[in-house]
Chain A
Amino acid sequence: MLSQAVLAGASGQVRNMATTAGNLLQRTRCFYFRDTATPCNKREPGSGCSALDGYNRIHAVLGTSAHCIATHPSDMAVALVALDARVRVVGPAGERVVSLGALHRLPGDRPDRETTLEPGELIIAVDVPPLAFASRSLYLKVRDRASFAFALASAAVAVDVRDGTVRDARIALGGVGTKPWRAAGAEEALRGRRAGRDAYRAAADAALAGAVPRAHNAFKIELAKRTLVRALLRLESR
């Protein structure tokens, strides 16, 4: 799952240059964030969010606020958050460990503050705890062209199925959340159910339950659900 996620990101040359921490902490691809001529709360707190009522096809539907709807662009982070990874951080106050789920913040009313890192803190390592059923995992990315494009929706899934029943699951979504999106609700919806399309669809519905669409990104809700279902089905058929 992790290697698929890494390979699904960017291009060979970019990957050769990128660091793991840099990838986790990369800034959003929101058009308006990158165009300094337009208002953006993330770039310039209080200036307004151009995306809310602008062109927002690539924007998030989960974890958004009235101040920012920018998607977190990383693929790798989606796999890592599904795997309960932890980052080791050193800073002026010494070393500490932050779970990946707690590394990124929701935009809320301060979209400029993207992570829970303190000033001066550096990521020095990422630990991925062993997961017994990690071998039954995959990362599926859906995008506008076959390669070298950010996700419109992606799903990182790992499922432990015994005797046709889901014992445990790890699910995270990319391309739809303001942070790498752990779908705990979907995991909950799967546990104890018979593996199969119905259960997967129920999990997908649970994952997107709180989704808030804007003018151009409503399709992402259905796309994300189908992406998740497809990922789970593909895992089943392996």
Chain B
Amino acid sequence: MGTVISQVTTVDVELRINATTRQLALDPRTTLLDALREHLDLTGTKKGCDHGQCGACTVHVNGRRVLSCLTLAVAAQGKDITTIEGVADGDQLHPMQQAFLDHDGFQCGYCTSGQIMSALALLREPCGASDDEVRECMSGNLCRCGAYSNIIAAIQDVRATHAHEA
């Protein structure tokens, strides 16, 4: 098993993530998710399926929540990308993060970044006020630990006090 030294074709990609511009040379097939996790050491965004089925990879692109596993990095150029690492203001947690902490809206924490990114987007989406409506709007974010009830409590807490300022 000899080591093959070889060249992989790459393209130059420029991404604006959390208000910082990053230059990368990437395999054109690289998803935004893998660009974040494997090339930029922004591992807060999680991979739970790689196929749009779990929501763990949710990030904001131009303010809308999307799945980074279904987004090619090259296609995310020229857009504003926000990941979980860009949510807190320095040491000051965003109220949504604080609410997740206070309501124990997670256990293993692996779905948490995606849940929080979805929850933040919800503050700007036309989602109804009831718990059931929030549950429906959050249904693209799976949590195998079963922290759902606490997540809804956290979101409703924030929505009650911070709507429209995400």
Verify whether A and B have any Cβ pair under 8 Å.
yes
Seen from chain A, the residues whose Cβ lies within 8 Å of a Cβ on chain B are 10-14, 16-17, 146-148
What are 16 A-B residue pairs whose CB atoms fall within 8 Å in the complex? Answer: A11-B55, A12-B118, A12-B122, A12-B125, A12-B137, A12-B139, A13-B52, A13-B58, A14-B52, A14-B67, A14-B70, A14-B140, A16-B65, A17-B70, A17-B71, A146-B136
- The tally of residues in B whose CB lies under 8 Å from a CB in A reads 20
Pair B55/A13 contact, Cβ less than 8 Å = yes
Complex contacts, A16 vs chain B, CB 8 Å: 64-66
Pair B118/A13 contact, Cβ less than 8 Å = yes
Say yes or no for B121: interface residue by CB 8 A criterion: yes
Pair B140/A12 contact, Cβ less than 8 Å = yes
Interface residues of B in 48-81 (CB under 8 A from A): 52, 55, 58, 64-67, 70-71
Complex contacts, B58 vs chain A, CB 8 Å: 13
Complex contacts, B138 vs chain A, CB 8 Å: 12
Pair A148/B67 contact, Cβ less than 8 Å = no
Pair B140/A11 contact, Cβ less than 8 Å = yes
In angstroms, Cα B64 to Cα A14, docked, is 11
Pair B67/A13 contact, Cβ less than 8 Å = yes
Complex contacts, B55 vs chain A, CB 8 Å: 11, 13
Cβ distance B56 to chain A, nearest Cβ, rounded Å: 11
Complex contacts, B118 vs chain A, CB 8 Å: 12-13
Complex contacts, A10 vs chain B, CB 8 Å: 52, 140
Interface residues of B in 114-164 (CB under 8 A from A): 118, 121-122, 125, 135-141
Question: Which residue on A lies nearest to B64, using beta carbons?
Answer: A16
Among A11, A14, A16, A146, max chain B CB count under 10 A is at A11
Complex contacts, A146 vs chain B, CB 8 Å: 135-136, 139
Complex contacts, B140 vs chain A, CB 8 Å: 10-14, 148
Complex contacts, A12 vs chain B, CB 8 Å: 65, 118, 121-122, 125, 137-140
Complex contacts, A13 vs chain B, CB 8 Å: 52, 55, 58, 65-67, 118, 140
In angstroms, Cα B118 to Cα A12, docked, is 9
Cβ distance B137 to chain A, nearest Cβ, rounded Å: 6
Listed from nearest, the 9 A-B pairs whose CB atoms lie closest are A11-B140, A147-B139, A148-B139, A13-B67, A16-B64, A13-B140, A17-B66, A13-B65, A16-B66
